[in-house]
Amino acid sequence: MKTKQKKMNARVDFTPMVDMMMLLVTFFMLCTTLAKPQTMEIAMPTNKTEDKNRSQVDTKEAVTILLDENDRVFYYKGKPADAAQNIREAFYLSKDAKGDLKSIHEVLKKANPAYEKAEKIRKEYEGRLNAAVGAAKGQQDAIKAEFDEKFNEAKAEKGTPQVLIKPCDGSTYDNLIEVLDEMSLCNIGKYVIVPIDDGDKATLDNYKATIK
Amino acid sequence: MGRFKIKKADLFIDMTPMSDVMLLLLTFFLMAGTFTKPEPVQVQAPGSVSDIKIPSTDILTIYVAGQGKDATAKPDIYVTLDNAPIVNQLADGLKKLPLCNTIKKAEIDEFRESQSIKVTIGEMVADRGAQDDATTDSQFKQIIKQARTIYNDINKKAKENNPDATERNLRIAIKSDKGTPYSTIKLVMNSLQDIQENRYNLLTELKARPTE
């Protein structure tokens, strides 16, 4: 036999394979999203006439937040009649602090007597849920249900404020979302978005003129 | 000098580990990602601490964009439904709706194709106040009403065949730019309120809870 035994090269060149993989990875990176969009669930009051009375609030415990243009925010506690004396300016937590103003977060936290209690419940259940990671789904759901019940009970306690959110036409969607966010951060159970009325507008304009 | 021994370098680099890594990355992106649905417009949603995830089916999304901070500019409002068979049914029904017969055939075909349809805001301004009169409803309202009716019919039929059938619930979500003026959001919200759609979702991006 005169065939020459060739030494076979056992190495396979993987470079084209890597090229292809890289292409696929790039494709999937560009075409997929990793995170599902977050959502904020809101329930608005109906505008049917028979329900109009329900939106009347116990004005003693009311906190009204007026969202103004240029990312300014004002608030007052109590009745709209006393608004002229009680109105103050605040600032959004996401924006820069202005002078010695309080943030709207601070204002709401202070106005809510149930804040500490609700926060404690939230933290406790957060811990329990973290501990239950990997446990049966039924068990997790049970913890969640128990949490919802206790949390809502704490938030609805007597003396908790009813927050009225009144955005001006010049405020932005971002402002609205931020204030709605504060509702959950400050554990406020009762809040509603209502259109701003002429009285509030006048109060706001007067106050803005005085602090200028 | 000149006494270096020149090694015969092996130019063959082993790509196998690289290929392994790539495969791993590919698997990760395949598993973790979901395909991005085409959106009619680019929207930069505001951040929120709310961590509720939106379910991935049967969502009617209202996109509000293209306005910046300018309240006088006309916003682009799109209605998108993520369920192709229902989009088809809805497109079939569009011609029969009183105000929608002005929609061109090409636009309806486009709706079938891309599952989104553009509505104008002008109509929404004009028809405020006329709540129960279907003939004066804007395209926006009629489309949403129609979608709701289709879902109700589906649920009714499913119930007849199988009383234990799970209900398919149409959810309405609003996705709006950060800077959209509240006046625009108000129009959308008021329109929804008029047709008794009082529960809806606001789509946001995740933001971390501020530390105390």
Tens of pLDDT, residue by residue over B112-144, are 777 888 876 655 555 445 444 555 567 777 788
- A165-174 confidence digits (pLDDT tens): 888 888 888 8
Q: Do A184 and B32 touch (CB under 8 A)?
A: no
Q: How far apart are CA A200 and CA A64, in angstroms?
A: 10
Q: What percent of chain A has pLDDT over 90?
A: 2
Query: Which one is predicted more confidently, B79 or A96?
Result: B79
Q: Do B33 and A13 touch (CB under 8 A)?
A: no
**Residue A42, helix vs strand vs coil:** strand
Q: How distant, in Å, are the alpha carbons of A13, A122, A188, A194, B131 from that of B186?
A: 62, 32, 23, 10, 16
Q: How close is the nearest chain B Cα to the Cα of A2, in Å?
A: 31
- The ipTM, to two decimals, is 0.75
Q: Name which of B36, B51, B209 is nearest A38 (Cβ-Cβ).
A: B51
The contacts of residue B25 (CB under 8 Å, 6+ apart) are A21, A25
Most confident of A18-27, A84-93, A173-182, B191-200: A18-27
Mutation site for B-interface testing, chosen from A26, A40, A92 by largest number of B Cβ within 10 Å: A40
Burial of B69 (C-beta count, 10 Å sphere; 0-12/13-18/19+)? middle
The pLDDT value given to residue A2: 57
The contacts of residue B116 (CB under 8 Å, 6+ apart) are B40, B63, B78, B79, B80, B81
Q: Is the pLDDT of residue A37 over 90?
A: no
pLDDT, mean of residues B175-200: 83
Number of H helices, E strands in chain B: 6, 8
**Residue B203, helix vs strand vs coil:** strand
Q: Do B179 and A172 touch (CB under 8 A)?
A: yes
Q: Is the pLDDT of residue A109 over 70?
A: yes
pLDDT-derived band at B24, boundaries 50, 70, 90: very high
Report the mean per-residue pLDDT for chain A: 79
User: Mean pLDDT lowest for which of A17-21, A45-49, A191-195?
Assistant: A45-49
pLDDT, mean of residues B10-34: 85
pLDDT, mean of residues B12-29: 87
Q: What percent of chain B has pLDDT over 70?
A: 81
Q: How close is the nearest chain A Cα to the Cα of B189, in Å?
A: 9
Report the mean per-residue pLDDT for chain B: 77
Query: Which one is predicted more confidently, B33 or B105?
Result: B33
Residue B81 pairs in a beta bridge with B60
User: Mean pLDDT lowest for which of A39-53, A115-129, B116-130?
Assistant: B116-130
Q: Do A33 and B179 touch (CB under 8 A)?
A: no
pLDDT-derived band at B59, boundaries 50, 70, 90: confident
Q: Is the pLDDT of residue A1 over 70?
A: no
Chain B residues inside the 8 Å CB shell of A176: 182, 185
Q: Is the pLDDT of residue B12 over 60?
A: yes
The pLDDT value given to residue A23: 93
Q: Name which of A29, A40, A193 is nearest B50 (Cβ-Cβ).
A: A40
The pLDDT value given to residue A10: 74
Chain A residues inside the 8 Å CB shell of B199: 41-44
